[in-house]
Amino acid sequence: MASATEERICFCLCLFLFLNLSTSTADYTVPAPWPKQFHSVLFLNRSGNLRKTDFWYDWPNGRIFNIFQNQLGILKYDLAWNNRTSFFYTVDPFNSTCEVLHFDVGVLPPNWLHGANYLGQQHSENFLCNVWEKDDFIWYYEDVVTRKPVKWIFHDGMITHVMTFEVGAVLDDAHWQAPVYCFSKAEAEPQQKYMRRTSYLLDFEDAVEGGFSSL
């Protein structure tokens, strides 16, 4: 009759083989879909122009929220809904301004990287990453171990560094209300005007305007 020690060793060996087999057969050539809700702190660098962004992603409620600030700049808010309406505004102590704009697409879905080309593994910023490219527009780096995004690079060289990635974090509903002065205009401005105002562009709006063909 096997001793308790032998049974424990046998169990550990079986567990090790199971985990090793599961890991070896996992398909890491497909990027992990985004969680349906998360919060992330991002640092963007476009040719030395720096920006910090608090990014809230809320797919079940059809909305995303970027709260961003260029280095030594004004704090700005970008509130986008899945009905293709976006509010770009500032609040006190800065000037109270707002633009309401429409886009051809809504919020990026969790599987927005579907169909991306797998480029293999690369070391980036102390992480071993799986890397994908989509539509010659974006290069996406995902940590091999945690499968969290590490960074992404756009075709124009802008790099987005992911500093935090809080899965399941949700911003209170009260913060999703645009200021009352955003509703003083009867209709939203056309998308073409927004595209000329490049100082407002965020990385995710850049991605949308780039037109991912498979979305």
Do the Cβ atoms of 7 and 13 come closer than 8 Å? no
List the domains of the chain with CATH numbers: 37-210 (2.50.20.30)
Give kind and range of the element (H or E) at residue 22.
helix 4-25
- Whole-model pTM? 0.75
* pLDDT score of 203: 43
Query: Measuring CA to CA, how many Å separate 56 from each of 6, 35, 59, 149?
Result: 51, 11, 10, 15
Residue 98: per-residue pLDDT: 93
pLDDT one-digit tens code per residue, 67-126: 999 999 999 999 999 999 999 999 887 788 999 988 887 899 999 999 999 999 999 989
pLDDT given for residue 7 in this prediction: 55
Number of C-beta neighbours around residue 193 at 10 A? 11
Integer Cα distance of 192 and 156 in angstroms = 20
β strands within the chain, DSSP E: 37-46, 49-58, 63-70, 75-81, 85-89, 98-102, 117-124, 127-134, 138-143, 149-154, 159-167
3-state secondary structure of 94: coil
**pLDDT reading at 204 higher than 70:** no
Measured distance CA(102)–CA(96) in Å, rounded? 20
Per-residue model confidence (pLDDT) at position 183: 87
Q: What is the pLDDT of residues 111-137, one digit of tens each?
A: 999 999 999 999 998 999 999 999 999
